[in-house]
Structure 1
Amino acid sequence: MHDLVLRAGRIVDPARGHDAVGDIAFSDGRVAEVGTVTTGARDERDVTGMIVTPGIIDLHTHVYWGGTSLGVDPDSYAKPNGITTVVDAGSAGAGNFKGLRKHIIEPAEVRILPFLHIAFPGIFALSRLVNRGESADLTLLDCQACLEVAREHADIVVGIKVRLGRGGSGNSGIAPMEMALEVAEQTGLPLMTHLDYPPPYRPEVMPRLRKGDILTHCFRPFPNSPVAGDGAVQADVLAARERGVIFDIGHGKGSFGFETAMTMLGQGFLPDVISSDVHALSIDGPAFNMLNTMSKFLAMDVPLVEIVRASTINAARAIRLTDRGTFEPGLLGDATVLDIETGTFTFEDVVGKTIEGSQNFVCRGAVLDGRWWH
C-alpha cells in the first residue's frame, strides 16, 4: 500500500516529456508510480481537473527571517504557494551562515538550500530605510573565510553568491566578482551573479561567467539590460548562453521589466529558470511570490510546459541536483497541485508597467516528502 496517491490529475513533467491525465503514487517519501495506479493508499486525493507538477523550486529567495532585514519566513511563504524547495540566494555569508542553518534551515518544513555570499556578513543592510551594499567595502570580502564555510557546510551549500552594481557593490567594480569566482572555482560550485545599476557594466560581467554559472535578474530593465538600443539581444548575452551560462529571472523589487521580457521572448530567448527573488521588500509587490511570477509568463503567452520546466527541472539542474524536479520513480516525493483561474488579471513589473492577463496560477495543494502538505 502506498502512503499517498493523487488521482486523475493532469501530470505535467517536462523532464520526462510527460503531459497526460493520470495518477501518481508516493511511498516512503519517494515517487513510486506514475500512470494508472491500481494499488491503494493510506491517503488518496482526487485532483481531477488540476495540474500536477514536480515540486516547484524557487531558485532565488531570501528566507533568513530574523537574521537579516530582508528575510521572509520560509514555511509561511512556501506552503501556500506549493513550493517544495526554496533556495536562499546568499542572504548569509561566512560570518552568519551557522545561524541560517541552525535557526532557519534545520527547523523548517520546506526544503531549503542556500548560496553562500562572498561578503562575510551576507546581505546585512537592505531594508526600506537602510540600503548598504555588502560588497561596497572590500574589507568585508574574504575568500578564505568563504571557502572554509563552503567546505564545512558542503552538504547544503549549492553555490557562491555575489551582488554587483551600484546597489550591491558601490564603487568596487568587478573585484567582488573576481573574488567570488575564485571561491567558486576552488569549491567546484556555480556562481550566482546579481547585476543591478552600473558600475560595473554588463560587458565586464558577461565574459567572466562560466558554463553552469547563473546570471540572475536576467530580464532586468535598462540600464545593464540584456537588450540593445535597437531591440536586439546583446551579443555578449547570446555568447554566454552559447557557452552554457544559466539565465534566471529573479524578479524581486527592481529586476524584472516587461519591455525587456517581451523583447527577449519575441526573439526566442526564454529564461532557463523562473524565480521570484521574494524578500521583505518584494513580497507585497511587485514580485509577490513564485506563482505570481509564473503567471506573468502565462500573460506573455509562454507555453505552460515551458513555465513548468523553468520552475522545476531546470531549477534543479541549475544547482546540480538530481534527486528532484521530475517524477522519476525513486526520486524525492515532492509535487505541486495547481489550478489556472481565468478572468482578467493585472500584472506589474518593477518600473510600474502593467499588462493584462486572462490566466492566473493558484495552488490547490502540495506533496512534500511523499505526504500531503498544505
Structure 2
Amino acid sequence: MYDLIIRNARLSDGSLSDVALQAGKIAAVGAVTGPAAREWDLAGRYWLSAGWIDSHVHCYPKSPIYHDEADRIGVDTGVTTVIDAGSTGADDVDDFWQLTRDCTTRVYALLNIARSGILTQNELGDMARIDGPALKAALQRRPDFIVGLKARISSSVVEQNGIKPLERAKALQKENGDLPLMVHIGNNPPNLDEIANLLTSGDIITHCYNGKPNRILTPEGQLRASVSRAIQRGVRLDVGHGTASFNFEVARVAIAQGILPQTISSDIYCRNRINGPVHSLAHVMSKFLHVGMTLPQVIDCVTVHAADGLKLKGKGRLEVGCDADLTIFDLQQQPCVFTDSDGHTLAGETQLIPLAAMVGGQGFLTDEGKKRNDFSL
C-alpha cells in the first residue's frame, strides 16, 4: 500500500500524471493503480515538480554579513533543498552543520576556501586564510554536508591578490577529489577572461548575468570568447541573482543567443528577501519566464540540472526511487512588475506561486499556500 497518491498533477510540460509516495521515496509515476493510505487529487489545476533546489543561498544564521534561516527561504517558499554558497569556511562549518539538524529543509554547503568564511567582505585579501589542511579536514569530517567549494573572485574580495586565490582554489579542488567549484564573478580585477581560462568541467560561474563591466557579454552583446571556451569545456552557468548581480538586459540578450543558465538560484539572504529585489526563488524563477525561457526550462534549472551540477543523489527528478521531495505550485496570471539588481523594471503577467513543499513525503504549506482558501494538504 502506498502512503500517498497525488492524482492529476500538472507537470511542467502541461501533461497530467499521478505520483505515488512510500516510505519517503517516489514509488510510482504515471497512471498509478493500487491502494493508498491517502489520496490527494489536484484535478489538473495545480502544478507539480521535483522539489525545487536553490543552489546559491546564504543561510548560516551567525554570519555577520549574509544570513537567513534555512526554512524561511526553504520550505516556507516551496524550496526543498538549499545550498549555502560559502558563508562558512573550515572554522565554522561544523557549527553550521549542527544548526541545520533542526531544519525541515534539506541543507548543504559549499565550503568557502577561506577558513573564516564570509566574516568580512575581503576574505581572500589575505592568502593565509586559505588553509589547505583545515579545508581537507573539514571535508573529511562532513562529507555528506559539504558538496563543493566556493571562491569569491572579485576585486573587493581578493583585493591585491588578483587571480592567486582562484589558482589556489583549483589546486585544492584537485587535491580533494574534484568537488564542484562555484566561482563568484563581479568587478575586476581579476578580469573575467583570467577567471574563465582557469575553469574546468563541472565548475560553476555564479552571477552569470550580472550587469557589471566584467560580465560575460562583450560591449557588442556577444559572448566573451573565454567564456564560450569554458562552456565548451563543461563549465556551468548559475544565475545567483542577489542584491547586485542580475541584469535583465544581459540575461535577455544572452538567452536570445542560446546562452542559458544550467541553474537558476537566488543568492538570497534576509535583506534582499525582505527588501528585494530577490524576495524568493519563485520570484527569481518568474523573471526568467519574461526574458526568454519556457516553464520546462525554468523548472529543469531548479531540479534536475541543480541536482546534477552538485551531485545530489536522489534529488531533482520525478522518478521511482528518488526522494519524495516535491514542490506544488500555481501559475498566477495577473499584471506584475519585476526589478533587477540594477534597478531596472520589467512588466510581466505570470508568476510562479509555490503552495506546498514535500520533504521525504512530509507535506508543508508555504506562506502562500496558507493564504489560499482553495488549497490544502
TM-score (norm 1): 0.94
Pairs within 5 Å for 1:71-90: 71-90=67-86
| Match for residue 112 of structure 2 among 114, 117, 134 | 117
Moved more, 346-355 or 277-286: 277-286
> Partners in 1 of 2:283 and 2:268 — Cα distance?
11
Match of 2:214 in 1: 224
Supply the distance in 1 between the matched residues of 2:35 and 2:76 (Cα, whole angstroms). Answer: 28
Residue identity matched to 2:314: D
Structure 1 position 52, deviation (Å): 0.4
1:172 Cα offset (Å): 1.7
Corresponding residue for residue 15 of structure 1:
none
**Separation in 1 of the partners of 2:174 and 2:74?**
32
Where structure 1 has 5 or more consecutive residues not aligned to the other structure, the ranges are 13-17, 126-131
Residue 242 (structure 2) pairs with residue 247 (structure 1): no
| Structure 2 counterpart of 1:107 | 102
Match of 1:158 among 141, 147, 162: 147
What is the number of equivalent residue pairs in this alignment? 362
Cα distance in 2 between the residues matched to 1:167 and 1:288: 25
The Cα shift of 1:93 comes to: 0.3
What amino acid does structure 1 have at the position aligned with 2:159?
A: G
Among candidates 205, 211, 214, match of residue 201 of structure 2:
211
Of 259, 262, 265 in structure 1, the residue corresponding to residue 252 of structure 2 is 262
Pair 1:192 & 2:214 matched: no
Partner of 2:19: 24
Q: Shift of residue 339 of structure 1?
A: 0.5
1:260-312 Cα offsets, whole Å, 9 max, x none, are: 10110111111111000101332121111100110000112311100011110
- Deviation of the 1:80 alpha carbon: 2.4
Q: Which amino acid aligns with 2:152?
A: R
For the residue of structure 2 that corresponds to 1:84, the secondary structure is: strand
> Where do 5+ consecutive residues of structure 2 fail to align?
366-377
- Looking at structure 2, the residues matched to 142 and 163 of structure 1 have their Cα atoms a distance apart, in angstroms, of 16
Q: What is the alpha-carbon distance in structure 1 between the residues aligned to residue 52 and residue 67 of structure 2?
A: 20
How big is the shift at 1:19? 5.1
**Alpha-carbon distance between aligned partners in 1 of 2:155 and 2:255, rounded to the nearest angstrom:** 27
Distance change in 2, residues 1:64/1:159 (3 Å): same
Say if 1:164 and 1:176, in contact at 8 Å, map to a contact too.
Answer: yes
Residues 1-374 of structure 1 correspond to what in structure 2 (within 5 A)? Answer: 1-12=1-12, 20-48=15-43, 49-103=45-99, 105-125=100-120, 132-188=121-177, 189-284=179-274, 285-374=276-365
Secondary structure of 1:34's match? strand
The CA distance in 1 between the partners of 2:131 and 2:62, in whole Å, is 24
Following the alignment from structure 1 to structure 2, what is the Cα–Cα distance between the partners of residues 364 and 335? Answer: 11
Q: Following the alignment from structure 1 to structure 2, what is the Cα–Cα distance between the partners of residues 324 and 160?
A: 20
Question: Given that residues 250 and 277 in structure 1 are in contact (C-alpha distance below 8 angstroms), is that contact kept between their aligned partners in structure 2?
Answer: yes
Structure 2: which amino acid aligns with 1:304? L
Equivalent position amino acid for 1:290 in 2:
L
Instruction: Letter of the 1:120 partner, please give it.
Output: R
What CA deviation, in whole Å up to 9, does each residue of 1:1-42 have, x standing for no partner? Answer: 211221211123xxxxx7520211100000011112222333
Mapped to 1, the partners of 2:140 and 2:171 lie a distance apart of 14
Counterpart Cα distance in 2 of 1:63 and 1:81: 14
What is the CA deviation profile of residues 48-98 of structure 1, one whole-angstrom value per residue up to 9, with x for unaligned ones? 211100000000001101344311000122122211110111110011111
Question: Residue 92 of structure 1 contacts residue 100 of structure 1 at CA under 8 Å; is this kept in 2?
Answer: yes
Q: Which amino acid aligns with 1:2?
A: Y
Q: Which segment is superposed worse, 175-184 or 210-219?
A: 175-184
Are the equivalent residues in 1 in contact too, given 2:186–2:212 (CA < 8 A)? no
The aligned amino acid for 2:147 is V
Moved more, 185-194 or 2-11: 2-11
| Counterpart residue number, 1:128 | none
Amino acid at match of 2:299: V
CA–CA separation in structure 2 for the residues paired with 1:357 and 1:59? 25
Conservation of the 8 A alpha-carbon contact between 2:256 and 2:292: no
What's the TM-score, normalizing by structure 2?
Answer: 0.93
Instruction: Work out whether residues 143 and 182 of structure 1, in 8 Å CA contact, stay in contact via their aligned partners in 2.
Output: no
Tell me the distance in 2 between the aligned counterparts of 1:300 and 1:263: 9
Cα displacement string for residues 205-263 of structure 1 (whole angstroms, at most 9, x for unaligned residues): 00101100111111111211111011111111111111100100000111111111011
Query: 3-state DSSP class of the match of 1:337?
Result: strand
CA distance in 2, matches of 1:227, 1:301: 17
Q: Out of 114-123 and 33-42, give the one that drifted further.
A: 33-42
Pairwise CA RMSD of aligned residues?
1.3
For 1:367, the aligned partner's letter is M
The separation in 1 between residues aligned to 2:256 and 2:63, in whole angstroms, is: 41
Counterpart contact for 2:3–2:22, Cα < 8 Å: yes
Query: In 2, distance between residues paired with 1:120 and 1:371?
Result: 36
